[in-house]
Amino acid sequence: MDFSDKEEKGNKSMEGMDENSQLSLKNKTTENEQNQSDEIHKNKEKLEESEKQYLRLLADYQNLQKRTAQEKEELYKYAAQKTIEVLLPALDTFDYAKQAVKPDSKPEKIMEDFNLVFEMLLKCLKDVGLGTIEETGIPFDPFYHEVLNQVQTNELPNHTVMQVLKKGYILNKKVIRPALISVSVKQDE
């Protein structure tokens, strides 16, 4: 059934009505159509406003991503600055010691300067959060230690750190290099 058939049926049904009823029905139909048209218009406006809001939010999000990436790049670029600032006194001490060493310098003086520079460097590294793993006589911990060899002995409990072959380091409670160790193993009797 197409639209012309519906219209024809509507016209036939209206023939049996009086003129006031027909006018009232036409007014209601026109009113309904007007209400639907107004509602469609309002929905279109809401949709357009939602699209505009979405586009603004999308642009804000993209700007935030760009700004965050730029800030991250800046952070990586200057991340070492604080560490370098802390290490500058040790670098100055190295420079002074280098200038102090002469061909006729006494070996004791060179060793003293070397130790002074080394202690200064350790202090500076400690100030940025570096710690060492070099304790012996403690139980083996795979988180802090890497075993290079095992020494059979009955003098120490099984799996005890006997010797630190290469110091390990911790930076702010995070292991950055485990200590290379020798560990005790019970002898077979």
CATH of residue 142: 2.30.22.10
Portion of the chain with pLDDT greater than 90, in percent = 39
124 and 100 in a common domain = yes
Q: What is the pLDDT of residue 159?
A: 92
The residues near 186 (Cβ < 8 Å, ≥ 6 apart) are: 152, 153, 154, 158
Question: Taking the chain, what is the end-to-end CA distance rounded to the nearest angstrom?
Answer: 104
90 and 105 in a common domain = yes
CA distance 97 to 17: 117
Whether 133 contacts 174, CB under 8 Å: no
- Mean pLDDT confidence for 145-169: 92
Domain count, the chain: 3
From 89, 109, 128, give the residue that closes a domain. 128
Q: What is the pLDDT of residue 15?
A: 54
Model-level pTM?
0.57
From 37, 54, 77, give the residue that closes a domain. 77
The residues near 179 (Cβ < 8 Å, ≥ 6 apart) are: 133, 134, 144, 145, 146, 161, 164, 166, 167, 168
Check whether 84 has a pLDDT greater than 80.
yes
* pLDDT confidence bin for 10, thresholds 50/70/90: low
Rounded to 5 degrees, φ, ψ at 146 are -125, 120
Q: Are strands 161-166 and 145-152 parallel, antiparallel or unpaired?
A: unpaired
89 and 31 in a common domain = no
120 and 138 in a common domain = no
Best-predicted range by mean pLDDT (6-10, 24-28, 165-169): 165-169
Which DSSP category does 143 fall into?
T
Range of the domain at 99: 80-128
Q: Are strands 168-171 and 174-177 parallel, antiparallel or unpaired?
A: antiparallel
137 and 119 in a common domain = no
Q: Across all residues in the chain, what is the average pLDDT?
A: 84
175 and 144 in a common domain = yes
Whether 132 contacts 122, CB under 8 Å: no
Q: What is the pLDDT of residue 188?
A: 74
108 and 91 in a common domain = yes
163 and 137 in a common domain = yes
- Which of 15-24, 40-49, 90-99, 152-161 shows the lowest mean pLDDT across its residues? 15-24
110 and 174 in a common domain = no
137 and 184 in a common domain = yes
Q: Which residue has the higher pLDDT, 30 or 72?
A: 72
Q: Write out pLDDT tens, residues 95-119.
A: 888 888 888 888 898 888 888 888 9
62 and 84 in a common domain = no
163 and 112 in a common domain = no
